[in-house]
Amino acid sequence: MDSSYLKQILIYILTTLLCVGFVAFVVYHVVISANTDLEVTPVVYSTQEDARVFDAYIFRSETLVYTTTPNSEGGINHLKEDGAKVAVGEAICSVFPASSNEETIQRIKELDRTIELLKNSNIEENVSYSDTQIIDESIYNSYYTILDSISADNAGYAMAKTDGLISSLNQRLIITRRVENFNRQIELYEAERNRLIGAGGEVAETVYAPKSGYYYADIDGFEDVFSVDRIQHMTLDEFDDILSHQFSASLRYNEKGGVNCGKIVTEFNWYLGCKVSTEESRNFTEGYTYTVIFPYNSDVRISMILDRMILQADDDRVALFFRTNVIPENFNFLRRQSVDIVVESYVGYKVPISAVRIVNGVQGVYVLEGYVVEFREIKPIQEINGFFICEENDGSPEKKGQLALYDRIIISGRNLYEGKIIS
């Protein structure tokens, strides 16, 4: 066979293989580039909290209120809602004798509630249409608060907000000149109430507030135990003794046989007490202010001052007492509640740990600057729930090359490197 022919065949085969290899090389890199599947997220400020969960107990200055009518078995009609502010001498409840007709009593209670609601609906004269924006915001907030409470299976809180919504709707009628006021309706209901009292629904007694403060209809039997007066000189053993108490049914009656008809919280300040380990107590400093979260009250947050820390020799526990004068609307003062106390807050850039890389011994992340991949150093402050909270970049020369606000972090992608161009 001609050697020149074989040489041409060999050259043809080699050329073909080189062409196929080159095409495969190009296709491979095109596929790799097309499958980078970059996903980015902008750098933003974030505040993360380190919160500890404790069982806590509420201490308040509470004055119990009793009827002067012994054994008031006919029923008590509470004239004020829980948490209502009352003045000295203001009527807070009425007492019916045992001989009263039950249906009549119920109707009188309904009338008392309606009269109180209409009185709260009346507003000052000379209001203008410009006030409709304020009242509409109140209506909007109340309406959606009720819906949210129902969705969260908190029917009690939803019912407590109902009267506020009705009052706001009534006030809007006055502002828009639909009605002048509700005085006429109040007079009619009061007249009906007087007729019912004269027809056998008589009131045996009206109870008036002995002190000013905030009225609550129910008592839990611990009012004489969880008293603010005890905190100042309390020892750890005394705190243990308080927590071992059972509720006292005897508080339902006083020494004269009068029936309890609620209590009045007489001081703005109230306290939260809890026990922690000595090691846990190192997170707290007396006199500092802490954020306390109340899950039982829809996660309401209250700033409270650590008023007192009680230590005792040969005991590895510490009692903490927090103080505040904040009383959120419709707050449930259940005596024992689980609370979250924030011991530390971290502010910085929130960076997913999954995006963090080590390049040349430096910890950082890849970011997309235009169409170019770049590497940025990070300096973590705290790790919380799969994220780093990282030090902020103030733009100073020494922080050049460090992650900055609004950088676009690449949180998923393959074959990343400094300088790679993404089309």
- The verdict on residue 399 lying in a domain is yes
Is 331 in the same domain as 283?
Answer: yes
The DSSP call for residue 402 is: B
Check whether 101 has a pLDDT greater than 50.
yes
- The verdict on residue 73 lying in a domain is no
- Confidence class for position 165, pLDDT limits 50, 70, 90: confident
User: What pLDDT does 72 receive?
Assistant: 57
Is 354 in the same domain as 338?
Answer: no
Residue 270 pairs in a beta bridge with 324
Which of 23-27, 69-73, 93-97, 288-292 is predicted most confidently? 288-292
Are 277 and 317 in contact by the 8 Å Cβ rule? The answer is yes
- The verdict on residue 146 lying in a domain is no
Q: CA–CA separation, 244 vs 49, rounded Å?
A: 33
User: What pLDDT does 33 receive?
Assistant: 47
User: How many other C-beta atoms can be found within 10 angstroms of the C-beta atom of residue 229?
Assistant: 9
Lowest mean per-residue pLDDT among 52-66, 139-153, 238-252, 370-384: 139-153
Is 364 in the same domain as 340?
Answer: no
- Confidence class for position 293, pLDDT limits 50, 70, 90: very high
Is 333 in the same domain as 366?
Answer: no
CATH number for the domain harbouring residue 374: 2.40.420.20
Is 315 in the same domain as 359?
Answer: no
Is 290 in the same domain as 312?
Answer: yes
Q: Report the C-alpha dihedral over residues 252, 256, 259, 262, rounded to 10 degrees.
A: -70
- The verdict on residue 245 lying in a domain is no
- The verdict on residue 288 lying in a domain is yes
Check whether 203 has a pLDDT greater than 80.
no
- Confidence class for position 253, pLDDT limits 50, 70, 90: confident
User: What pLDDT does 337 receive?
Assistant: 93
User: What pLDDT does 28 receive?
Assistant: 46
**CB hemisphere CA count around 239 (13 angstroms):** 26
What value does the mean pLDDT take over residues 333-360? 93
Q: Kindly give, in sequence order, each residue whose CB lies less than 8 Å from that of residue 25, ignoring residues fewer than 6 positions away.
A: none
What phi-psi label fits residue 419: left (phi over 0), alpha (psi between -120 and 50 degrees) or beta? left
φ, ψ for residue 78, nearest 5 deg: -80, 125
- Give pLDDT tens digits for 215-249: 998 898 899 899 999 999 999 999 999 999 887 78
Is 352 in the same domain as 389?
Answer: yes
Is 355 in the same domain as 326?
Answer: no
Q: CA–CA separation, 101 vs 74, rounded Å?
A: 9
Final residue of a domain: which of 345, 365, 388?
A: 345
| More confident of the two residues 208 and 160 | 208
User: What pLDDT does 274 receive?
Assistant: 96
User: What pLDDT does 99 receive?
Assistant: 60
CATH number for the domain harbouring residue 335: 2.40.30.170
Residue 221's SS3 state is coil
Check whether 10 has a pLDDT greater than 50.
yes
Final residue of a domain: which of 318, 345, 372?
A: 345
- Confidence class for position 30, pLDDT limits 50, 70, 90: very low
| More confident of the two residues 95 and 286 | 286
Are 378 and 340 in contact by the 8 Å Cβ rule? The answer is no
What value does the mean pLDDT take over residues 76-88? 86
Lowest mean per-residue pLDDT among 2-11, 175-184, 212-221, 388-397: 2-11
User: What pLDDT does 325 receive?
Assistant: 95
Among candidate residues 112, 120, 119, 274, the one with its CA nearest the CA of residue 194: 112
| More confident of the two residues 152 and 43 | 43
User: How many other C-beta atoms can be found within 10 angstroms of the C-beta atom of residue 422?
Assistant: 15
Q: The tokens of 97 are what?
A: 């004798």
Number of domains within the chain: 2
Is 385 in the same domain as 354?
Answer: yes
| More confident of the two residues 409 and 6 | 409
What phi-psi label fits residue 370: left (phi over 0), alpha (psi between -120 and 50 degrees) or beta? left
How does the average pLDDT of the chain come out, rounded?
84
What value does the mean pLDDT take over residues 27-39? 54
User: What pLDDT does 27 receive?
Assistant: 47
| More confident of the two residues 176 and 341 | 341
Q: The tokens of 270 are what?
A: 């109230």
- The verdict on residue 165 lying in a domain is no
- The verdict on residue 370 lying in a domain is yes
What value does the mean pLDDT take over residues 289-296? 94
- The verdict on residue 23 lying in a domain is no
Distance of CA 400 to the CA centre of its chain: 40
Check whether 29 has a pLDDT greater than 60.
no
> Can you say whether the dihedral through the CA atoms of 103, 250, 248, 264 is positive or negative?
positive
User: What pLDDT does 63 receive?
Assistant: 94
The DSSP call for residue 60 is: B
Check whether 291 has a pLDDT greater than 70.
yes
**CB hemisphere CA count around 329 (13 angstroms):** 7
Final residue of a domain: which of 327, 345, 363?
A: 345
Q: The tokens of 379 are what?
A: 């300096």
How many DSSP H helices and E strands does the chain contain?
7, 20
Is 378 in the same domain as 389?
Answer: yes
**C-beta contacts of 389-394 below 8 A and 24+ residues apart:** 389/46, 389/48, 389/346, 389/347, 389/348, 389/349, 389/350, 389/351, 390/348, 390/349, 390/350, 390/351, 391/348, 391/349, 392/45, 392/347, 392/348, 392/349
Domain span at residue 315 reads: 50-57+267-345
Is 290 in the same domain as 320?
Answer: yes
Is 296 in the same domain as 339?
Answer: yes
What value does the mean pLDDT take over residues 79-96? 87
Residue 305's SS3 state is strand
Check whether 66 has a pLDDT greater than 70.
yes
What value does the mean pLDDT take over residues 15-22? 61
User: What pLDDT does 192 receive?
Assistant: 82
User: What pLDDT does 150 receive?
Assistant: 78
Lowest mean per-residue pLDDT among 17-26, 31-40, 296-305, 402-411: 17-26
Check whether 328 has a pLDDT greater than 90.
no
